[in-house]
Amino acid sequence: VAPSEKTILNGSYPVSRPLFFYVKGEHLKSIKGLPQFTEYFLSKKVSGKGSKLEKAGLISMSDKERAAVLANFKAGKAVVVK
């Protein structure tokens, strides 16, 4: 199976792996700038289509999925993306 966005997203390419980004809720209150950094990381500029991370090989979430994750983060909800 050749590596491509399609084969990675559908799980048929066996060598890909997810990017995990963990932020403890308690740290959001105690580490200055962490909420802003997390929002920045989830922005289209950083992790969206055409971003530097995508150019480095990250297969980004769709704009719709990323917006939902960002909205949940801003609402203080736990966020899990598969």
Q: Does residue 44 belong to any structural domain of this protein?
A: yes
Q: How far is C-alpha 58 from the chain's CA centre? A: 9
Structural domain count of the chain: 1
Residue 50: both structure tokens together: 């055409």
Q: State pTM to two decimals.
A: 0.78
Q: Does residue 59 belong to any structural domain of this protein?
A: yes
Closest by Cα among 29, 21, 1 to 70 = 21
- Domain range for 27: 5-10+22-74
- Tell me whether residue 47 is exposed, middle or buried, using C-beta atoms within 10 angstroms of its C-beta: 0 to 12, 13 to 18, 19 or more: buried
Q: Does residue 31 belong to any structural domain of this protein?
A: yes
What is the tens place of the pLDDT at every residue in 4-63?
A: 999 998 989 999 988 888 888 899 999 999 999 999 999 999 988 899 899 998 898 888
What is the tens place of the pLDDT at every residue in 35-47?
A: 999 999 999 999 8
User: Do the beta carbons of residue 81 and residue 65 sit within 8 Å?
Assistant: yes
